[in-house]
Chains A and B, each alone.
Chain A
Amino acid sequence: MANDIKTISPEKFEFVNMNTRLTDVKFDDKPIGYFKDAWIRFRKSKAAVVAMIIIILIFLFSVTAPLFTKNPSTFMDTYYAKKGPYIKSLRSIGIANGGVKRDFSEIGLISKIAIGMGAEDWEGTGKVTLEDGMASEFQPILEVSDPYIQIDSSKKEKTYYHGVIDAYNEVGFLFLSVEQEELKKMIAWEEESGLHLLYPLIEDNNFTPDPQDANFWFKCKKYQPITINEKGKAKNVEYAPGMVLEDNYKRDEEGNAIKWEYTGGGSFETAHMKVRVLYKNYYIYKNGFEPQYLFGTDSQGYDLMLRLAGGLRLSLLLAISVSVINFCIGALYGSTEGFYGGAVDLLMERFSDILSGVPFIIVATLFQIHLATKLGAVPCLLFAYILNGWINIAYRVRTQFYRFKKQEFVLAAKTLGARDMRLIWKHIFPNSLGTIVTSTALIIPGVIFSESMLSYLGIVKLGSSRTTSLGTLLSDASAIWMNYPHLMILPALFISLLMISFNLFGNGLRDAFNPSLRNVED
């Protein structure tokens, strides 16, 4: 047997590849690297992908919100503060109409309906019917129920109505004091636009319950609307079809309603004239655009959508810069500690031990009271987050370095003459990337929460005409939100959504980078 093999004659041998070169077959696929591998695993988690999409959408909203509205970002209107969503084109189908549910007494109901009736009567004829008034686009009452009887505190039976009121139209009329030039401009604008701005003035007599309130254009006796019959006797007006209100307009000798009145003082140019304007049209005259608020207005009268977008921008910007900076500091500090070990490690550990003992809330407060006036509130907040926010990441990097620095591939690289820097960044550090990317991502929801908390408590004052934070919006709303729920619901909804998404996203990242840790929370 053995001899057979030894005695094979050389002619029997034959070269397999005499004329072809032997090389590796080229891969048809691209190689799958560490990050691509993680991405493939990340994609499998539906919740994390949905969370990522929500984060992207919120980010896009925060950046592009100014494109959806004509309102300039610093624009505010105090008369339209705290109002609900209002979009003219959606108003006809019953959404975004600024509507608020409310219960009305009969007197209250009539005085609101009267705003719509008055708005139809710009000439001051006093002959406007209830039906005309209800059909008016300036009518505040959108819906009114059948009457019901309720016994009030003085044990009298009173008639009440459930209703929905347009909070924008409710503003109604205003008295203004304008210069001559302004008045001329107003009259010219009225002719040009075809809208009615100036309305008849109201007689200041004992039929007026409140001389400052421009909405009581009809005769009242202590807020109770009345009509006077030929004998001079007063009769209470009741809310019923065909209701007639008797006007109380200021009239000249010929019986024509007066729309402006000299208030005295100054020369011709500077003298002021008293006028009565319909606020919604005055708003268009003043600003050049109609009131349109997709999310309504905030407690000061800014467009809530722009404020929200601004707050989200600030939160996201702050959270992302905090995590990026903490990532860098933590990586540098942790790798130095972990790589050199020994005395260096001991000293640096003691330093970070002490630093990590400082409660964040105290750091944030002290930074604010010392530096906020010099550097601004946002940079101070950023410093407070950075002061000891990196310690956790440094700790993780250090642990990874201890794990890997004695392994053979590092020794091999060292033997080949690699310097410390190359060993650290090229050979050891990439191994710790997975864990620290995850913990960096999970910093973000924490920052968003504590930023909103600090600004809610007023420790950090971020509210200004240019920008605001979600916490400030919430704290502005905190005393009044029972009556204006949208002021609270929208910011709370956005912040909750953002927090849930970032947490899910972070968990997804962790599962993707460390498959062994799947479903283990830490």
Chain B
Amino acid sequence: MLKYVVKRLILMLFTLFIIVMITFILVHMLPREMPVEKNLQAVIAQRWEALGYNKPIMTQFGIYLKNIFTKWDFGTSWYIAPRKGAWEVLESGFLPTLLVNLYSMILAVPVGIALGVYAAIRKNKWDDSFISTIVMVFISVPSYVYAFLVQYTLYFKLGWLPLTMYSLADAGGSYFTWKMFVSMIPAILALSFGSIAGYTRFVRAELTESLTSEYMLLARTKGLTRAEATARHALKNAMVPVLPNILSEFVGLLSGSLIIEQIFSIPGVGQLYIKSLNLFDYDVFMIDCVFYTFVYLLAGIVLDLSYGFIDPRIRMGER
């Protein structure tokens, strides 16, 4: 197992390195101009020189890697937060993104699993087909449509919730205040519809399959009631593929949803991506790309590895 984990991790780091290199070259091929600011020109020029912006691209890449490994320095933001470190800028976006997505997951996972189990138990009855139809619709409709619907009903018609998320200053300086939580609710709801439907469909499919398998027959023959057999045997087996997905989505939470962050103006990593792209703040854009790639790869690995932990018979990615 350890050998397998190490192998996967090394492959992941190798992939990450190649993607970072290609992204770095492509981003640094773009023309860039030194920001002009009268009083600080000397400081800016010094920093510019230290990052090697005037040197050939591969030299720049060497400096970039050296700075990361020795000083954890990913370059400087020039426009979004002038002369702050790119890492600090990215770091400031973690918490809002993580919170909104975490809340949405806390809502979506139990509801999704409960609905899925219910639909599987009532298979081919009217309530199953009702749930399945709704799930089909909810999986297909794009998340931004929910965002508009939520905004329209909860803000425009009923006036219960704010249109977008409050800024830190409005909500009392912390992301953990009640007021901030209330302003996050529209985004949480908009994110949840799709994932509730996703979990429902997944759990239903897995559970219907295990409900019809032979060990269920055996469990019933040895005298368990249907409910007991379902809870003890079928549900356990059905969760084997579901749990890894929840875990990997948990890792994926970090990257958030670009479009939901844009619509509800959540100051997270997704909004940072769009902002840095529009303002040509390349170092921030670069670190955001690295971050996205890292989270994406990590989520994939967590998915594959957790299969192995939950059910040791499975080795994903091996033949």
Contact = CB atoms under 8 A, between A and B. Distances in A.
**Do A and B make up one complex?**
yes
Chain A's interface size range is 35 or more
Interface string B7-21: 000011011101100
A362 B23 contact: yes
Contacts of A519: 205, 208
B274 A459 contact: yes
Nearest to B138: A500
Contact of B209 (A481, A492, A520): A520
A357 B292 contact: no
A478 B277 contact: no
Interface in B2-48: 11-12, 14-16, 18-19, 23, 26-27, 29-30
B201 A353 contact: no
B142 A449 contact: yes
Interface stretch (B169-177, B183-191, B225-233, B255-263): B255-263
A158 to B, nearest CB: 22
A496 B201 contact: no
A481 B274 contact: no
Interface string A135-179: 000000000000000000000000000000000000000000000
A275 to B, nearest CB: 41
Contacts of A500: 136-137, 140-141
Contacts of A361: 258, 273, 292
A367 to B, nearest CB: 9
B140 to A, nearest CB: 4
B140 A445 contact: yes
Interface in A482-513: 482, 485, 488, 492, 495-496, 499-500, 502-504, 507
Contacts of B137: 500
A354 B15 contact: yes
B16 A357 contact: yes
A370 interface: yes
Contacts of A457: 258-259, 262, 274
A60 interface: no
B142 A496 contact: yes
A208 interface: no
Interface in B269-319: 273-274, 277-278, 289, 292-293, 296-297, 300
B219 interface: no
Contacts of A359: 292-293, 296
A488 B274 contact: no
B103 interface: no
A521 interface: yes
Contacts of B296: 357, 359
Interface stretch (B49-57, B63-71, B88-96, B144-152): B144-152
B156 interface: yes
B218 to A, nearest CB: 22
A496 B143 CA distance: 10
Interface in A82-127: none
Contacts of A456: 144, 259, 262
B141, B205, B278 — which one has the most chain A CB atoms within 10 A of its CB?
Answer: B141
Interface of B: 11-12, 14-16, 18-19, 23, 26-27, 29-30, 136-137, 139-142, 144-145, 148, 152, 156, 201-202, 204-205, 208-209, 258-259, 262-263, 273-274, 277-278, 289, 292-293, 296-297, 300
Question: A-B pairs with the 4 shortest C-beta distances?
Answer: A500-B140, A499-B140, A357-B15, A521-B205
Given A353-B15, A499-B141, A519-B208, 20 more contacts: A358-B19, A359-B296, A361-B292, A362-B23, A366-B23, A369-B30, A370-B29, A452-B142, A453-B144, A456-B259, A457-B258, A481-B148, A485-B152, A492-B144, A495-B142, A500-B140, A519-B205, A520-B209, A521-B201, A521-B204
26 contacts: A354-B15, A357-B16, A357-B19, A357-B297, A358-B19, A359-B292, A362-B23, A362-B293, A365-B277, A366-B27, A369-B30, A452-B142, A457-B258, A481-B148, A485-B152, A488-B148, A492-B145, A496-B141, A496-B142, A496-B145, A500-B141, A502-B140, A519-B205, A520-B209, A521-B202, A521-B205
